[in-house]
Amino acid sequence: MRRGLLRDRATFYTLKRTQTPYGSVTTQREKVWSCKAFAERFSNVTGKDKIDAKEQFYGSFGVLRVHNYPKIKEDQIVEYRGVFFKIILIVPRFSDNTLAINVTKINE
C-alpha cells in the first residue's frame, strides 16, 4: 500500500472499568495507539427489502487499512474522523504489511 493513501488519523482505545470508593463502576476509554489510516470503503445499512437508510445509518460498516502494529487488538474501539467504531475482525495482509480492520459504528 502506498504511504500517500494514509491521510487520516485513527486512534485506538481500550475500555477500562474502574470502581470509585463509593462503589459505582464507570467505563473509561484509555488511549492505546494513534496511527495513520485509510478508509477502504463504508457501506450503507439495508433492510430486508433492500431500502437504504442513508440519512441515519450512513457509513455504519466499513473497512480501515493501517500498518501492521502489534498493539492493535480486536477488543479495542477506534476513533476515525471523530466517530467511534467497534472492531469486528482484523485481517492481516502480508503482501504489504498492513491490516484490514472491519468496523461497525457505535451508537452513543
- pLDDT (tens digit, 9 = 90+) per residue, 49-108? 555 555 555 557 889 999 999 999 999 999 998 889 999 999 999 888 899 999 988 876
Number of domains within the chain: 1
- Residue of 90, 105, 91 lying closest to 58 (CA atoms): 105
What's the pTM?
0.78
Q: Distance (Å, rounded) from C-alpha 99 to C-alpha 89? A: 10
**pLDDT at residue number 52:** 55
Domain of residue 34 covers 3-105
**pLDDT at residue number 71:** 92
- CATH number of the CATH domain containing 50: 2.40.10.270
Q: Distance (Å, rounded) from C-alpha 99 to C-alpha 96? A: 9
- pLDDT (tens digit, 9 = 90+) per residue, 14-23? 999 999 889 8
**pLDDT at residue number 108:** 65
CB 33 within 8 A of CB 71: yes
